[in-house]
Amino acid sequence: MLPGGDIDGDRDDYAAKLRRRFSFISESMARHYARTYGSNSELLLAEAASVADLGEDFGHEFYEAELKYLVEHEWVRTLEDAIWRRTKQGMWLNDQQQARIGEWLAQHAGKSELSLAS
């Protein structure tokens, strides 16, 4: 089984489960997380009790917690890794938003353990 593949049903059912457990996320976020991360979505959301706990919103509901997850669990180190190879968020983010993600990665991608407060 692939990492995150143990969702016990289809992705729509799992997205609904995420919404029940993490009621602060939008329906589109739940679908994105279910489709992209499967059961590993719970690692991404584990420390959050509200949208504010997800950290900086880089645009199009792409939050710092997701970028942190990508760095810590999917070996993302570059902007291209984050917004094209792993998520395809580059299709929706403008140049300024992409530049901000690049700045964040330059500051944080080499750290061994990240905190949203850092």
Q: 29 pLDDT band (50/70/90 cuts)?
A: very high
- Note the pLDDT tens digit of each residue in 34-62: 999 998 999 999 999 999 999 999 999 99
Give pTM, 2 decimals: 0.85
> Alpha-carbon torsion 2, 67, 114, 22, what sign?
negative
* CA–CA dist 35, 8 (Å, integer): 13
In this structure, are 79 and 106 located in the same domain?
Answer: yes
Phi and psi, residue 110, nearest 5°: -90, -5
85 and 109 together in one domain: yes
The string of pLDDT tens digits covering residues 72-90 is 999 999 999 999 999 999 9
Average pLDDT over residues 63-72: 96
Tokens of 110: 């080499």
Task: Verify that 71 and 100 share a domain, yes or no.
Answer: yes
1 — pLDDT class (breaks 50, 70, 90): very low
Q: Is there a single domain that holds both residue 41 and residue 71?
A: no
How many structural domains does the chain have?
2
Label residue 4 by pLDDT band (50, 70, 90).
very low
Q: What is the pLDDT of residue 44?
A: 95
For residue 91, the model assigns a pLDDT of 96
By residue range, what is the domain housing residue 112?
Answer: 50-118
Q: Which amino acid is at 82?
A: A
